[in-house]
Amino acid sequence: MNKIYTILLLIAVSTTMVTAQNSKTKKADQYYDRLQYTDAAEAYQKLLKKGEGSTYVFERLGNSYYFINDTKKAETFYKRVVKKKDVNPETVYNYAQSLKANGKFGDYNTYMKQFAEMKPSDSRSIEFMKNPDYLPEIIDENSQKYTATNLEALNSKYSDFGGVVVGKDFYFASARNTTGKKYGWNEEPFLDIYKASIVGGVEKNEVLLKGDVNTKYHESSVTITADGKRMYFDRNDYYNGKYKKNEEGINQINIYYAENVDGEWKDVHSVPFNTSEYSTSHPALSPDGNTLYFTSDRLGGKGMADIYKVAISKDGSFGTPENLGSNINTEGKEGFPFVDSNGTLYFCSDAHLGMGGLDIFAAEAKGNNFGEAKNLGIGANSSEDDFAYSYDPATQEGFVSSNRKGGKGSDDIYKIKKIESCEVTINALVINEYTKEPIPSARLELYDGMENKLNTETTGVDGKGTLMTACNQNHVVQAFMNGFESNAVKVSASKNEVKSITIELRPIESIIVDDKVILNPILFDLDKSNIKPQAAFELDKLVALMQKYPSMEINAESHTDNRGSDTYNMELSERRAQSTVQYIISKGIDKSRISGKGFGESKPAIDCGDKCTDEQYHKNRRSEFIIVKK
């Protein structure tokens, strides 16, 4: 989750002031306080296995997973905390955000209302209570204004974000430089700034930026003056060879600038409003170059991270930073400002009413400041984190960075393009696969190509339902009915027209074969153990079966491919098995009826040794479900 290390760092600082619960949590707390959330989560998990579970441990586990964007696991552990009498309101808020990111909008509303009761004067509470049912308006694809296309030629398996075009050059930040050490937060390499070429409208052929800008620490968030002579960027508080920390032992982010000297960026300087006591990051210039916008948690702000502006004089000196005020800033986190040629401000926020974690908002220029912030909706936003937005009103194109489903890495850069409104009508018929009879009251769910749920409909007595959606995009329609195995049909992109599809559902018993429940493969990404939406779709079939047969007990077996050591793979498969078990339990199945065990690489589905194809590796990363009791 590198892309918001400068935002999430702010909330992390506040949590480091909590003293360890007892000596048993000391090691895990040390990881947590150093912002090494992956290591912290593993350490707290070990405490659970030893029977050392407590509200403190569960809350810290929830925070650790929330900060690295594993909202599935964050939800699991926050769930154990939020009903306590002395629960921290921010924990309730984080739980609500996790629920929203996981598509559980009804539960999200419930806990946002609880948060609003706990902090009624908080701007996040006030905005939510004005319109608690706002989500359908934002996720209604009929109102979609933008498409998003992955920059596949540029993105890597690591975090890639940002996107600044200067002539035929494209500047961005990436964690792909594996020659240095890894960042403890998420175990990815530190960020560097890269420059790519734009060839035939395609961003590619990236190279590490030449000059003095990149160091062994984080650099990102580039903005360049119109004459191309000065670059502003942010970096860890590392200047003139000195790495500084604040009183809590946290190294902050600061803004620097460099000059273009014969094609290389040199002569790095620190802006005068930097300090080691708080973060100053995400620089962005106004179109005339006279104002610098940035993100900071400095004293006097409204929330965990606010957006500020500072005047730049003709002689290059800086004025006094000014907060952009309550139209833009909230008690939450705002960041990554960008101002287009019309003066419209774009920024990301986790507190204005959105679809997922961070959403993109726009606020038009109004006098010396900006008007109301408005969510840009689907395309620009997803159910995940969306940030680092830039836009050119002349071409009606821009860029957004996101960890949305379907990307190549932890964060990818997408090209944004404004679209004209047009609609497709999808007429869906749901029938019994064996009898061909229509199935009334079946639930239809519409998803876009990024696995964002867009709409829900119920079939009538004739088994038919109608869904309206935007044209020129691929979609998936899924059908669900109690007593039947769920199924999905892909709907290819088309212009204004009517499309008819038939979805056949099998009686749920058909997935029982001998002593196993046969599902489509529950696949995992390399080195990952979180439940992906495709896997959740399959696991919901198992949940439906166990709901129909309340005495059924299942053992989930998890397997890895053979990359990595035997010990690592055994531990990874165990995490995958437990992740699967936790998902089933989260759907209301009693924990006594579902167990899990990891087998590492010991039982491959395809025994291909060290010559496996990517597809064979993928199939070996699987889960199987054994019926222990019918």
What six digits make up the tokens of 8?
């999430």
Given this model, what pLDDT does residue 18 score? 41
Q: Which of left, alpha, beta for 116 (phi over 0: left; psi -120 to 50: alpha)?
A: alpha
- By CB atoms closer than 10 A (0-12, 13-18, 19+), residue 298 is middle
pTM (two decimals): 0.59
Which residues of the chain are modeled with pLDDT < 50?
1-20
Q: Do the Cβ atoms of 456 and 475 come closer than 8 Å?
A: no
**Counts of helices then strands in the chain (DSSP H, E):** 12, 39
Cα-Cα-Cα-Cα dihedral sign, residues 320, 325, 327, 331: positive
Q: Which of left, alpha, beta for 514 (phi over 0: left; psi -120 to 50: alpha)?
A: left
CA dihedral of residues 20, 26, 31, 37 (deg, nearest 10): -60
Residue 555 Cα distances to 183, 450, 533, 536, 620, angstroms:
36, 31, 21, 17, 18
Residue showing tokens 């907060």: 323
379-406: b (≥16 Cβ within 10 Å) or e: bbbbbbbbbbbbbeeeeebbbbbbbbbe
- By CB atoms closer than 10 A (0-12, 13-18, 19+), residue 520 is exposed
Q: What are phi and psi of 73, to 5 degrees?
A: -70, -35
Distance CA 279, CA 285 (A): 18
Residue showing tokens 């964050």: 74
Q: CA 266 from chain center: how many Å? A: 34
Q: Do the Cβ atoms of 194 and 163 come closer than 8 Å?
A: no
Q: Which of left, alpha, beta for 267 (phi over 0: left; psi -120 to 50: alpha)?
A: left
Q: Which of left, alpha, beta for 570 (phi over 0: left; psi -120 to 50: alpha)?
A: alpha
Given this model, what pLDDT does residue 396 score? 92
DSSP reduced 3-state for 477:
strand
Given this model, what pLDDT does residue 524 score? 65
Residue 199's CB is within 10 A of a number of other CB atoms, namely 11
Q: What is the pLDDT of residues 529-568, one digit of tens each?
A: 777 777 787 888 899 889 888 999 999 998 888 888 888 8
Kind of pairing between the strands at 264-270 and 280-285: unpaired
Q: What is the pLDDT of residues 456-512, one digit of tens each?
A: 899 999 999 999 887 778 899 999 998 888 899 999 887 767 899 999 998 888 888
Sorted by where each starts, the structural domains of the chain and their CATH numbers stand as 25-132 (1.25.40.10), 146-418 (2.120.10.30), 423-507 (2.60.40.1120), 512-629 (3.30.1330.60)
